């Protein structure tokens, strides 16, 4: 069971992409200079975390179905 | 409660035809877009670089004149007839303007395409801005003029419908969709007069050899007199959809009808007296005029900021109607599975991003940094290329069933399509903005020079890769869109499976706003005064400097060459 | 007319934002002194540039101790002169016009960027620092060979700089 509707998750992931792309800009301003490969790996990591969050069993949440739709 | 095609079968046919024309233009334009992306980045060059500009002319004309404006007439016809609940007065007249617009497009396209074929001695590689003394074959100008006249007659058609309604309903408030159409047409008439005069008085006679030269700065100024307003001509049907369709598919109501009217009145007033902001870097125009255009432009932010508020508030209202709660959690309650909603919402997000780059463009002296660089291309692919184009595509998924009676085919594909557009544009537009900051010029077949560009972040190769990735995704998204359209058209008619033809009601209704808002004569009058204030002096100054026909300068490509070419060709036969 | 409180707040903030934008641009113009390309120069006849006192023989001229003027004629597809040599640590004013269609004169990596319109003269003054090389491009489409149109600005060390002998 996923925490959110799979389609909402998909939209959320698509939404994350411009943020990840601009994160690279922010990184450069802060003096980090990630290579393209590093940026891609970081982006994929964030996406994996979001997907993981969505599908991780929500055991520790209070029993009322708050996180779900 | 029934579909549009059941209510207005004849109008539905017209709306359908206009939409199909728009879709054909979109498909061709996207294919050329991909060609340009691959050519510029030197990934694949299937055409000669000298032909690149003909392709780019087609891309510009097909997408920002044909696609957008044909879709606009479809939407506006729907809006007028639905909201006044009456058909257009005279169908022969309606098909006449549709015919003029189509015929004009074809006539303009002939010499452009002719530029690609050696056997045809015609060309019009002048891009959609056709700055003189770049010269196109006269057919191009004739086609353009017919197209514009077609849109004028379309406006007459809608105004006649409105006046007929007004006679029967003397005391009612103008329905909001009709109000939007009328204010938009108000500034369209006002602004397109500029380009029509430029074409008919100067460019067409000049292309026929009647004048030897034209005033380059004057015709350019007359183009931009229209050129900024046309931007709002693309945007107003988009706003109309955001105000009327988006709240409805989100499950709610429009937040405020009077505020929507104020927004459209502001666009009527301010769209035209801002055009000089495209000429910040033009010699021959005093700084003062540029400053005035800059302040007007900044005030034009207001209606767009108001729209952002109203649209978000309306969507939130919809989400709460659907049971959404919390500070942000209501976002999850929105109908994200619906491509109509998701497409328009994503288009809105990208428009917000475009607002930032737009403010940079509008900043008089900041403009030095970005003028005519790839940055600008990145900017307007977010505005007209996404806010407008993606909204139109998403709205098509609602309109197509309405005007054909056939339920939407391939809904998941349609959802994938809008998501893919967003992804593709994220990459393409980001890299274009970046490249522009490094000085990479726009409108250039081979932006590879003897020196190299140095982006602040990453490398040119990386930016090129992003542009190619983005452009490819966008092209695929367009193919997907056309697939869904064709799939839908191949299906059977079944009105029972289609939502009724309605638009969003308002939480705060028309009667809450003062009556003066509906006084269109007054607003048009003020708009005219503002335009005269903004343009009389600059035009007078330009003419005073170098005359109506300019200080000289020969047309390019020169007619003499064409004559020589003919002589040689004849001699060789 | 009832306007929601949030709406009023939003309108107020929007107006503040707009005024701030206009203010910052005005600051750039008035205080920081960024001048716009304007109508200061007299119009010229694009068909008779050969007879023009400055554009007839375009190139670099010295006008003061550290100040120079450069006249450039843009044509499809090139600039005359295409390589411009000026000394480091100088103030250089470019005057650019076109003998045919609309072009631009844009020094890559700098703020020097102007449209070039036949009949009009674009004048822009730049402060040059250390020796360097800059590309110059035309960023307005001017014809089928537009992409070939480029030039170079070479800032040479002061002691290596020599004015080209004028005929
Ligand atoms: C498949 C999607 C698209 C791709 C890959 C694409 C790509 C491009 C590229 C690379 C350029 C720049 C060419 C240059 O300056 O050398 C361009 C220009 C342009 N595009 Fe697109 N584009 C796409 C869709 C659109 C859409 C949907 C619109 C508007 C509705 C649009 C409007 C324009 C306009 C107005 C220009 C400027 C033409 C000119 O400079 O004269 N494009 N496009
Ligand atoms: Cu504009
Ligand atoms: Cu050029």
All structural domains of chain C with their residue ranges: 1-34, 46-160
pLDDT score of C90 more than 50: yes
For every residue of A6-64, DSSP letters joined together read: HHHHHHHHHHHHHHHHHHHHHHHHTT----HHHHHHHHHHHHHHHHHHHHS--TTS-SS
**Can you tell me the ipTM of this complex?**
0.93
Residue pair B264/B184 in contact (Cβ under 8 Å)? The answer is: yes
pLDDT score of A60 more than 70: no
Q: How far apart are CA B188 and CA B170, in angstroms?
A: 26
C151 touches chain B (CB under 8 A): no
Q: Between residues B211 and A65, which one has the greater pLDDT?
A: B211
- The per-residue pLDDT for B58 is 96
Closest CB to B336 among A8, A24, A28 = A8
Burial class (CB in 10 A: 0-12, 13-18, 19+), B76: buried
Q: What is the pLDDT of residues B343-390, one digit of tens each?
A: 999 999 999 999 888 888 888 888 888 899 999 999 999 999 999 999
Q: What is the pLDDT of residues B46-104, one digit of tens each?
A: 999 999 999 999 999 999 999 999 999 999 999 999 999 999 999 999 999 999 999 99
Residue pair B174/B75 in contact (Cβ under 8 Å)? The answer is: no
Q: How far apart are CA B127 and CA B136, in angstroms?
A: 10
Per-residue pLDDT, averaged over B6-19, amounts to 96
Which band of pLDDT confidence, cut at 50, 70 and 90, is reported for residue B555?
A: low
- Is A in contact with C (3 or more beta carbon pairs below 8 Å)? no
Which residues, judged by CB distance below 6 Å to any ligand atom, belong to the binding site of ligand 1? B 30, 33-34, 36-37, 40, 56, 59-60, 63-64, 67-68, 127-128, 377, 380-381, 384-385, 389, 442-444, 471, 474-475, 478
- The per-residue pLDDT for B562 is 45
Handedness of CA B378, B384, B389, B391 (dihedral sign): positive
Which band of pLDDT confidence, cut at 50, 70 and 90, is reported for residue C48?
A: confident
Q: Nearest to residue B364, comparing CAs of C24, C153, C85, C16?
A: C24
Fold of C46-160: Immunoglobulin-like (2.60.40)
pLDDT score of B120 more than 90: no
* CA-based nearest distance C79→chain B, Å: 14
Which band of pLDDT confidence, cut at 50, 70 and 90, is reported for residue C167?
A: very low
Closest CB to B133 among C48, C101, C104 = C101
Q: Which domain holds residue B198?
A: 4-572
pLDDT score of B563 more than 50: no
Contact C146 B439 (CB under 8 A): no
Contact C120 B284 (CB under 8 A): yes
- The per-residue pLDDT for A45 is 95
* Residue B493 CB neighbours (<10 A): 13
Q: How far apart are CA C134 and CA C152, in angstroms?
A: 6
Chain B residues near residue A17 by CB distance under 8 angstroms: 423, 426
For strand C83-87 and strand C67-75, is the pairing parallel, antiparallel, or unpaired?
unpaired
H-only helix segments in B405-497: 411-437, 460-490
* CA-based nearest distance B302→chain C, Å: 6
pLDDT score of B265 more than 70: yes
Residue pair B216/B552 in contact (Cβ under 8 Å)? The answer is: no
- The per-residue pLDDT for A66 is 46
Residue pair B434/B463 in contact (Cβ under 8 Å)? The answer is: yes
Please report, for residues B294, B299, B301, B310, the alpha-carbon distance to residue C13 in angstroms, rounded to integers and kept in the order given.
20, 13, 12, 15
Q: Which-ligand-closest: CA of C143?
A: 3
Contact C152 B450 (CB under 8 A): yes
* Residue B122 CB neighbours (<10 A): 17
- The per-residue pLDDT for A63 is 47
- Percent of chain B scored above 90 by pLDDT? 78
Q: What is the pLDDT of residues B146-202, one digit of tens each?
A: 999 999 999 999 999 999 999 999 999 999 999 999 999 999 999 999 999 999 999
The domain spanning residue B244 has which CATH number? 1.20.210.10
pLDDT score of B414 more than 60: yes
Domain boundaries, chain A: 6-54
Contact B554 C11 (CB under 8 A): no
Please report, for residues B327, B387, B553, the alpha-carbon distance to residue C118 in angstroms, rounded to integers and kept in the order given.
58, 36, 7
- The per-residue pLDDT for B546 is 83
Buried b (16+ CB within 10 A) or exposed e, C19-44: eebbeebeeebeeeeeebbbbeeebb
Q: How far apart are CA C123 and CA C121, in angstroms?
A: 6
Q: What is the pLDDT of residues C59-75, one digit of tens each?
A: 999 999 999 999 999 99
User: For atom 41 of ligand 1, which residue has the closest CA?
Assistant: B127
Q: What is the pLDDT of residues B506-543, one digit of tens each?
A: 888 888 888 899 999 999 999 999 999 889 889 988 88
Chain A residues near residue B419 by CB distance under 8 angstroms: 10-11, 14
- The per-residue pLDDT for C40 is 82
- The per-residue pLDDT for B70 is 98
Q: How far apart are CA C164 and CA C167, in angstroms?
A: 9
Q: How many domains does chain B have?
A: 1
- Percent of chain B scored above 70 by pLDDT? 96
Which band of pLDDT confidence, cut at 50, 70 and 90, is reported for residue A59?
A: low
Q: Between residues C29 and B11, which one has the greater pLDDT?
A: B11
Q: How far apart are CA B508 and CA B540, in angstroms?
A: 46
Closest CB to A11 among B419, B427, B430 = B419
Helix (H) or strand (E) segment spanning residue C119: none
Q: How far apart are CA B454 and CA B450, in angstroms?
A: 13
- The per-residue pLDDT for B569 is 52
Name the pTM for this structure. Answer: 0.94
Task: Count how many pairs of residues, chain A against chain B, have C-beta atoms within 8 Å.
Answer: 36
């Amino acid at each position: 069971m996923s925490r959110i509707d799979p389609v909402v998750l998909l939209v959320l992931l698509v939404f994350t992409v411009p943020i990840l792309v601009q994160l690279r800009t922010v990184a450069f301003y802060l003096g980090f200079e990630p290579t393209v490969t590093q940026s891609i790996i970081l982006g994929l990591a964030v996406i994996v975390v979001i997907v993981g969050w969505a599908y991780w069993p929500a055991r520790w949440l209070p029993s009322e179905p708050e996180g779900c739709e | 409660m029934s579909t549009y095609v059941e209510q207005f079968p004849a109008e539905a046919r017209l709306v359908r035809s206009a939409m199909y024309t728009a879709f054909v233009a979109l498909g061709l334009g996207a294919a050329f877009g991909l060609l340009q992306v691959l050519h510029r980045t030197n990934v694949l060059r299937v055409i000669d670089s000298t032909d690149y500009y003909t392709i780019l002319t087609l891309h510009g004309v097909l997408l920002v004149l044909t696609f957008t404006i044909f879709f606009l007439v479809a939407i506006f016809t729907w809006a007028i007839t639905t909201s006044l609940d009456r058909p257009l007065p005279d169908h022969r007249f309606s098909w006449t303007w549709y015919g003029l617009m189509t015929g004009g497009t074809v006539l303009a396209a002939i010499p452009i395409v002719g530029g690609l074929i050696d056997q045809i001695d015609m060309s019009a590689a002048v891009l959609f801005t056709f700055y003189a003394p770049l010269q196109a074959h006269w057919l191009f100008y004739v086609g353009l003029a017919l197209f514009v006249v077609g849109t004028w007659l379309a406006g007459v058609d809608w105004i006649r419908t409105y006046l007929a309604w007004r006679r029967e309903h003397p005391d009612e408030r103008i329905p909001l969709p009709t109000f939007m159409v009328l204010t938009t047409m108000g500034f369209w008439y006002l602004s397109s007069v500029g380009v029509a005069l430029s074409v008919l008085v100067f460019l067409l006679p000049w292309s026929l050899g009647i004048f030897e030269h034209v005033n380059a700065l004057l015709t350019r100024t007359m183009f931009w007199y229209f050129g900024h307003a046309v931007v709002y001509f693309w945007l107003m049907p988009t706003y109309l959809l955001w105000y009327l369709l988006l709240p409805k598919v989100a499950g709610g109501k429009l937040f405020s009808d009077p505020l929507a009217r104020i927004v459209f009145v502001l666009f009527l007033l301010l769209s035209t007296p801002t055009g000089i902001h495209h000429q910040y870097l033009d010699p021959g125009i005093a700084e003062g005029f540029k400053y005035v255009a800059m302040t007007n432009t900044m005030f034009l932010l207001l209606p767009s900021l108001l729209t952002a508020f109203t649209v978000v508030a309306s969507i939130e209202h919809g989400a709460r109607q659907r049971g959404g709660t919390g500070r942000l959690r209501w976002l999850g309650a929105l109908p994200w599975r619906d491509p109509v909603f998701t497409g328009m919402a994503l288009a809105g997000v990208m428009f917000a991003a475009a607002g930032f780059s737009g403010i940079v463009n509008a900043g008089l002296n900041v403009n030095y940094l970005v003028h005519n660089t790839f940055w600008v291309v990145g900017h307007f692919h977010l505005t007209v290329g996404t806010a407008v184009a993606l909204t139109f595509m998403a709205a098509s998924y609602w309109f197509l069933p309405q005007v054909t009676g056939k339920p939407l085919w391939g809904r998941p594909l349609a959802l994938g399509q809008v998501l893919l557009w967003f992804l593709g544009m994220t990459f393409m537009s980001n890299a274009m903005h970046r490249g522009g900051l490094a000085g990479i010029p726009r409108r250039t077949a081979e932006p590879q020079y003897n020196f190299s560009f140095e982006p602040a972040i990453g490398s040119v190769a990386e930016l090129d890769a992003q542009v190619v990735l983005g452009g490819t995704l966008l092209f695929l998204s367009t193919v997907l869109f056309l697939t869904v359209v064709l799939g839908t058209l191949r299906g059977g008619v079944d009105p029972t499976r289609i939502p009724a033809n309605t638009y969003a009601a308002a939480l705060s209704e028309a009667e809450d706003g003062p009556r003066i808002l509906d006084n269109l004569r007054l607003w048009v009058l003020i708009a005219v005064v503002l335009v005269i204030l903004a343009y009389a002096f600059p035009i007078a100054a330009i003419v005073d400097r170098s005359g109506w026909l300019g200080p000289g300068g020969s047309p390019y490509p020169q007619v003499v060459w064409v004559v020589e070419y003919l002589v040689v060709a004849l001699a060789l036969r | 007319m009832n306007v929601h409180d949030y709406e009023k707040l939003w309108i107020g903030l929007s107006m503040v934002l707009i005024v701030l934008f206009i203010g910052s641009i005005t600051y750039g113009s008035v205080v920081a002194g960024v001048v716009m390309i304007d109508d200061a120069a007299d119009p010229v006849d694009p068909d008779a540039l050969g007879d023009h006192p400055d554009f007839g023989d375009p190139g670099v001229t010295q006008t003061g101790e550290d100040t120079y003027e450069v006249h450039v004629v843009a044509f499809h597809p090139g600039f005359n002169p295409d390589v411009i040599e000026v000394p480091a640590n100088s103030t250089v004013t470019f005057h650019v016009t076109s003998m045919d269609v609309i072009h631009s004169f844009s020094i890559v990596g700098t703020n020097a960027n102007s449209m070039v319109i036949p009949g009009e003269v674009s004048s822009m003054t730049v402060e040059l620092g250390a020796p360097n090389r800059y590309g110059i491009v035309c960023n307005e489409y001017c014809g089928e060979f537009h992409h070939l149109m480029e030039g170079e600005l070479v800032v040479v060390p002061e002691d290596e700089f020599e004015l080209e002998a004028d005929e």
